[in-house]
Amino acid sequence: MSEFEYVRNCWYPIGFSEEFETSKLKGLKIADKPVVVWRTEEGEVVAFDDRCCHKRFPLSESKLLDNGNLECAYHGLQYDSSGQCVEIPSQADRPIPKQAHLRNIPVCEQDRIVWMWPGDPSACEGIAPPRTQEAVDENLTAMPLPQVVHSPSNYLLLIENLLDISHFYPLHDGNIGDRANSDIPVQLEEGEQDGFKYVRTIREVENYKQPPYFREWFHYEVIDRVHTHTMVTPGLTRVVMNVAPPGQLGTDMERGYTLLHLHYPVDKSNLVWRILISSRKGHTPLNDTSRSTTQAIADMFHAVVAEDEWALERQQKMMEYPDEGYSELFLGSDAALRRARQIMLSMQRAERQAEPAPRRVRVAQETIA
Ligand code: FES
Ligand SMILES: [Fe+2]
């Protein structure tokens, strides 16, 4: 674990589409890279290295002009929405040096999510972000949790947390905590989809008596249930729960939810985490028809998230001590976590090996002539 930092060559979700207002600059750090992002007047989201190519002033703290150009707040270099420098006030009578452009960071907007590829841009050719159809399906009520979590922990700890329901008791005791959950047998499924290896846990149970909070969300007292947790990519973990009275899964009686966990590494010890909750349109809790099931889940979920944050932050602190003879214990219930970690470590190793040696920095002669 300690050798793991992050995977660079991956599409990571940097926000929901509605978070990117036209002509509003946003700055973020992803995989140790400072990035400036904005939505152009034409509606496209564009992203570049946040450092002005002159003296590294942060462009996310600069200004978009009425003509759509980005003007650096230090000496006024202007860039168009392709990242090309188009004006240098201090030498307006000279040609623009060819080094005067910003490094483009690949961005893709799909299914209400804006994705970013912080690694080698040539490596994303032919690879699309995973679909998140739940975010745009008209038959569902889909709602992002209002809080965006910034946690001082490595994002692999979060992915492991999301694949692991054996921590529901005791960490989530009192809300989604349910000791009986830990007794449900876990099947592990692995595969590859759209260029990414995935890991899925499947828990199937029949004639299960639902704990009170699930009964309130999904109505029935005794159910058959299929509960899956999937690391789709290092940027997306999908949790699906479907329940129905015994023998009725797959019929109109089915109820349930999907949680999309959208996460990216800020650096090796910080992450950003967003959650989208969805359930069938028209479904309401058992005793409160004034709000949707999605809303009811959202109303309690921030408490669950706070408990996970509490644990992740503490784990990260302990990760930072040298191992010195410490060795981690893997239990039977950790099989999916272990595979997820192996997959991400092998992705990291492969891309680090493929990296070219660092180039020497050259001073652009024409800019100082
Ligand atoms: S640092 Fe941006 S114009 Fe000089
Ligand atoms: Fe949790």
- Judge if 47 and 157 occupy the same domain: no
Chain centroid to Cα 199, Å, comes to 16
Residue 176 — very low, low, confident or very high, per pLDDT cuts 50/70/90?
confident
User: Three-class SS of residue 97?
Assistant: coil
Q: Which atom of ligand 1 is nearest to the CA of 55?
A: 1
Residue 56 — very low, low, confident or very high, per pLDDT cuts 50/70/90?
very high
Question: Is residue 169 scored above 90 in pLDDT?
Answer: no
d(CA 292, CA 159): 28
CATH of the domain at 26: 2.102.10.10
Of the listed ligands, the closest to the CA of 169 is 2
Q: Is the CB of 55 under 6 A from ligand 1?
A: yes
Domain that holds residue 33: 22-108
**How many residues comprise the chain?**
369
Does residue 236 lie in a domain region?
yes
Nearest CA, atom 4, ligand 1: 75
Does residue 368 lie in a domain region?
no
pLDDT confidence of residue 95: 97
Model confidence over 298-310: pLDDT tens digits?
A: 999 999 999 999 9
- Judge if 57 and 161 occupy the same domain: no
Nearest CA, atom 1, ligand 1: 55
Model confidence over 71-112: pLDDT tens digits?
A: 999 999 999 999 999 999 999 999 999 999 999 999 999 999
Does residue 157 lie in a domain region?
yes
pLDDT confidence of residue 332: 87
How many domains, the chain? 2
Question: Is residue 225 scored above 90 in pLDDT?
Answer: yes
In the DSSP assignment, the letter for residue 155 is H
Predicted TM-score (pTM) of this structure: 0.94
d(CA 19, CA 119): 23
Residue 366 — very low, low, confident or very high, per pLDDT cuts 50/70/90?
very low
CATH of the domain at 288: 3.90.380.10
Does residue 291 lie in a domain region?
yes
- Judge if 139 and 57 occupy the same domain: no
Does residue 68 lie in a domain region?
yes
Does residue 357 lie in a domain region?
no
SS3 content of the chain, % helix, strand, coil (to 5): 25, 30, 40
- Judge if 53 and 193 occupy the same domain: no
Question: Is residue 369 scored above 50 in pLDDT?
Answer: no
Q: Is the CB of 169 under 6 A from ligand 1?
A: no
- Judge if 50 and 198 occupy the same domain: no
